[in-house]
Amino acid sequence: MPHSHLIAETGQDKKNTIPTLTMELLTLVAEKVIEFTLVPIGRQLGYLISYQSNVKELKDQFKALQNCTQVVQNRVDEARRQGEDIDARVQDWFSRVNEITELVDKLYEEETHANTNCSFKSCPNLWLRHQISRKAKKMTQEVAEIEVKADKFDKFDKFSSYKPPDLVGVPLTSSSTVIEGMESRISIRNQVLEALADPNIYMVGLCGLPGVGKTTLAKEVVRKVKEENLFDKVVWVRVGQNPDSKGIQSQIIDNVEMKLDAESVLARASHLNERLKRERNLLVVLDDLWKRLDLDEVGIPFDDNPKKKIPIVDENNKCKILLTSRHEDLLYNQMNCRRNIKMDVMSEEEALKLFKKNADLSDDSNHIDLLSMAAEVVKLCGGLPLAIVAVARPFQNKRKISEWRSALNELKRPLRRNMTGIKEVDSSLLFSYDHLDAELQSIFLLSAMLSHDPLIIDLLMYSMGLSLLQGVHSMKDAQDALDVLVSKLKASSLLLNSFSNDRFTMHDVFREFSLSIASEVQHALVVSFPMLEIMYLHEINSSITSIWDDHLPLNSFGNLKTLTVTGCGSLVKLVPLHELISLSNLEEVEVTNCESLEMVFDFDDLNSYKETQLSSSVPLKKLKLYSLPKLTHVWSNDPQHIFSFPSLQQVKAYDCETLESMFPASIAKGMLHLEELEIFNCGIDVIVAKAQVSESGAPTFVFPKLYTLQLWNLPNLKNLYGDRHTSEWPCLQHFIILDCDGLEIFGKEDSSLSSLQEESPYVKYPLFFHEKEIPNLKMLTLDAKQLAVMLRNVQLGFAPSFFNLMELNVYGSGVFGERFSLDHLRDDCFQSDLILPNLESLDVTTLELSSEMKKLWVEKLPHHKPFSKLGSLSVDNCDFLCEYVIPAHLVKCLSNLEELEVRNCYSVKAIFDVKGMELDEEARTSLPNIGLRKLKLHHLPNLKCVWTEDYDGINCFQHLQELLVCECDSLINIFVESTAKGLTQLEKLEIESCELLEVIPRLEGLTLNQKDATLLRDGQFQADLFDKVETLCLESFLEKSVSFPYSFLDRFPNLEELRVEHSCFVEILPSQSQTASFKKLYVGYLDQLKTIWDDDSQVQPIHQDLERLEVECCCSLIKLTPPLASFENLTQLIVSGCQQLIYLVTSSTAKSLVNLYRLEITDCERMEEIVRNESEEDAEATITFKLWGLELTGLTSLKSFCSENHTLEFPELEGVTITECHQMKMFCPGVVETPELWRVEIDGDISSLKGDLNNTIEFLLLNKDGTNMYKED
């Protein structure tokens, strides 16, 4: 029963399942039918239904694309104007825009010409509506995608659209009426236009007399060019009398709206060349050419073929040039311009027409009586438009015959002098100038003194400074008054429009006239400088050949004390006689790099002052002359006691190759206060020139206070004075003479002079006579040749004794000469009286091996001790030393030797010949008495030991304090065992490129590189070897993977200061290191350093005792200290040049800085805060600093001292200095207590406290001006 019931239930379920499956199947089939039939049909129907909206959406989207395209096009145009290349992606984008534009236009055409709309008389074309709607839908999506891509062109984000004017830099003209009715001028204009339109002509010249109207006609050509659209752009450049390539480039660059950062002329020319090649249709006007202009140097793209000189242009571009100049031969021969058009003066008819036009004179009956006079006035102008216009303007307000007659008489009046070189122009301009009121005259003269095309604002500044504007009480009044005056001068044609409204210009002829007028009248512009004490002139305009104006009032520079002139290449004479008279306080003159200067003091007009029988004393104390290649005389003539320079104390002349002599005879005789005389690399043959007036007897030159005399590389120098004379040098202490082969130093004027002169060229007017002339000489520097001559004269009795000489320097080859050997000296020279009892320093350089030097140095001298007081001995590149520097017999002469330096001596094998002392009892007993304190050995490749052997425990190094050994590759031992034990005073040892194998006791300071440290670390040394070392410097660990030798520090138990610099360490003190403590740590110039201490570093004992920490230029340092580090004894913390540091210390570490009194942080660009909070517990903690001063400089990202709400206490802080921390908004958001603070300095401005430090900084920030500087309270 249960079983049958179960079967019955199962059958029922089966019946219910069949319909369910059928429904699911039907549903599935229906979905597929809908998916593949109804959905597509619906989509297609949707195109019909949404036809209007799809088309409208396309139009809207396409309009947005067109706007976007215009924006991008504007930016592209701006970039091209700047000479930049356009990114390829942008070009591809424009191609895609063009493609989609064509498709959209075609779709619009289909919509327009097809019958797509429903109407009463026609049925809609459903198929066409469907196609258009479908295309519009897809095109809308494509257009949107193209527009989105434009946003990715970051290159153009900062460019703005700007449409430049077509005529750039062209001086403004009035209108076409300028040459209206002037047939000759219209004809010339048309000739120029025809030439410019000729495709085979690329350069056109316009030439003629000054004032004939070349510039005016060129302006008319430019106006006509624009009117007829001959060129897309015109660039006007005024060249002028002294063309400056860089200035011309600047004009063109400004005119074509181009940005150019390059400074050199060649670099700018290259960029400008490329920029001009891109211009489609360009006319360049080069106005007022006076000399050849190198177009390639400027950057105008021309062919290198001098016969063609055709501008290089792209295939579709053209660039033509219009030149104006007074000189036809310049245009034809130097500029290779083959189409030159000459402008002649006007005919009488045209001249009269121009005059009447500018004088407002008509042909009506009211003016009939004046017309005949007008013709006479025009004749005086010579047909020159410049003169005609200038003279016509003053006639505008004259309508009476008497006024005209008076004016005509003025024009006929003879001129006082030639002003411009053109008589007709001089008369006209003087007439026009005289009819100006005083105020206009002043502005006219001032305008001529400014640069070409000056700014009106500059004219305003000078006008106000010179008080030329009358009745003005404010800047606005002054501007208005000057505008009126400039307008009047322009109306009179004395001033002209320039290439921009904020500038003006003046014709060159007017400028010459104005400067001539200013020089002959006592005008307000001819000013004096009664308080001026220092004048510094550097690279002044090349057209200026003189500093002083002949018409300056006397004593214009009466208070001038210092005159410095540098790089003024056109100056020929520095101080003329008439100006020297008024320089009553001049004390110092320095002249450098003036390539044309021929004389300093010009006495050519001396005869005119002799008649006054007045003498003048110039107070000059210092005269310095450097690099003056054409200087022939300092004084052009001998002033013959009419002028004297008794106060001269210092005279220096360097690199004056053509200088003939230093002083005239009368000047040299009066140098009672001269203390220093230095002459270097000059062409002089005598120091004092022969007197122009014959004297009775031989002159005597006394230099009573001269203590330094230096004569270097004077190959032509033969004598102090070119005739028989005597000289006295009682105070001379320092004498240097090198590479003066023609000058003998010592000699004696007696009866034997003539015979000796026949035997030897060395004795002819020597520099010094008599043995008492240089009694105080203490330092003597000379070359080997001079030494040879001196030794000979010692033997002959011609040289004085050198009893007081303390320093002797001998150079075997001078700076400019060749090596010189002493082989020709006599053997007995060294048995003479050349005794130097007080010599303390001897420096010998580059002496070759010679038998004489060997006799003096190597072989034993039995009779005297030549170096008994010698304290310093330096030997460099001397082959005569053979194997030993100090032979045994010289030891007894060196009991006072304290410093010994030996360099570049290839033959030296040992410093002291101890072995030779076995044969010299006196030397053996003298050795322990040597008090040598410093020993320097450099580049002695064959040196094997300091002394030859350990001799019975004798030690001469018990006083040695410093030892430097470098590049001694053969050195085996620096010290033998017994000597090393006696080095009790050694404090400093520097070893480089040497094998160091023995002990170094009692050092207080030690500098080691990587190789040195390895030797010391791996060697076997006694335990107390470095017990005395207090300062250790580790440098030049340069291997990439080098590790800091921290375990090495255990060898220095008394280390006080550790310096680590110029190495490749990534970290210095790793975790768990147990090193000796030190009080000072300097870390500098470690480019790879990431951390000083590892985060896991133990607090003890690494920085328990640290008192000073300085970190400098570690550009990769990201963390200064571990987060929980404690520095309770740190008093000074200085950090600079660590660009990766974002903060200085954590708040936990900051709380431990209880003794810090000095904190300086400089040039850490990424640092955002000084104290960073690392724990929520410390978020509102109180942190106390005992700082006296706080300096924060160059922290460009710094926002605050700390960003958390800490309470900061500075109980002893007195001053805060913040410089270039422009992101800083506040000091701290919490409470800042500074009870002693009285001085806050921000960017150089000092302010008093405003409440607390936070308020003070915020107050200063609010008052900060536009230059990002802080204003003073």
DSSP 313-327: --TT-EEEEEEEES-
Would the pTM count as exceeding 0.75?
A: no
Q: Measure the CA dihedral 849/853/859/860, to 10°.
A: -160
The mean pLDDT of the chain is: 77
Q: Which residues contact 458 (CB under 8 A, 6 or more apart)?
A: 450
pLDDT value of position 1018: 66
Structure tokens at 274: 């490329």
C-beta of residue 643 within 8 angstroms of C-beta of residue 672: no
Structure tokens at 1216: 């805060």
Please name the residue that has the structure tokens 């003794």: 1155
Beta bridge partners of 488: none
**pLDDT-flagged residues of the chain (< 50):** 1-12, 14-15, 38, 116, 118-121, 157-163, 166, 174-176, 304-310, 313-315, 365, 522, 611-613, 750-763, 771, 814-833, 997-999, 1098-1101, 1265-1273
C-beta of residue 716 within 8 angstroms of C-beta of residue 743: no
Please report the beta strands in 940-1089, taking only residues with DSSP state E, as ranges in sequence order: 945-947, 962-966, 988-992, 1005-1008, 1031-1035, 1057-1061, 1067-1069, 1080-1084
Structure tokens at 1172: 């960073």
Q: Which residues contact 556 (CB under 8 A, 6 or more apart)?
A: 527, 528, 529, 582
pLDDT value of position 762: 40
C-beta of residue 644 within 8 angstroms of C-beta of residue 671: no
Q: Measure the CA dihedral 362/368/372/375, to 10°.
A: 10
Helix, strand, coil % over all residues of the chain, rounded to 5: 35, 20, 45
CB atoms within 10 A of CB 219: 24
C-beta of residue 829 within 8 angstroms of C-beta of residue 857: no
- Dihedral sign computed on CA atoms, order 580, 583, 584, 588: negative
What is the CATH code of the structural domain delimited by 346-413?
1.10.8
φ, ψ of residue 589 to 5 degrees: the values are -130, 130
Structure tokens at 641: 């006691």
pLDDT value of position 980: 61
pLDDT value of position 162: 44
* Dist CA 1188 CA 1218 (whole Å): 15
Domain 183-344 fold is Rossmann fold (3.40.50)
Residue type, 91: Q
Please name the residue that has the structure tokens 């190495």: 1063
pLDDT value of position 1111: 96
**CA angle centred on 946, ends 945 and 950, rounded to 5°:** 85
Residue 921 parent element (H or E): helix 921-926
Closest-CA residue to 723 (of 738, 701, 752, 750): 701
Residue type, 1144: L
Cα atoms in the Cβ-side hemisphere of radius 13 Å centred on 362: 3
Domain 436-525 fold is Arc Repressor Mutant, subunit A (1.10.10)
* Cα 1193 from chain centre: 24
Closest-CA residue to 255 (of 418, 59, 499): 499
pLDDT digits (tens, 9 = 90+) for 555-595: 678 889 999 999 888 888 898 877 787 788 999 999 999 99
Beta bridge partners of 236: 285
Closest-CA residue to 107 (of 156, 161, 143, 69): 143
Three-class DSSP labels, 734-779: EEEEECCCCCCCEECCCCCHHHHHHHCCCCCCCCEECCCCCCCCCE
Length of the chain: 1273
Ramachandran region, residue 153 (left: φ > 0; alpha: ψ -120 to 50; beta: rest): beta
Q: Measure the CA dihedral 830/792/841/960, to 10°.
A: -20
Between the CA of residue 962 and those of 377, 873, 1058, 1092, what are the distances in Å?
95, 15, 20, 32
**Domain map (residue ranges) of the chain:** 26-115+125-151, 183-344, 346-413, 436-525, 534-690+719-725, 1003-1078, 1098-1108+1119-1266
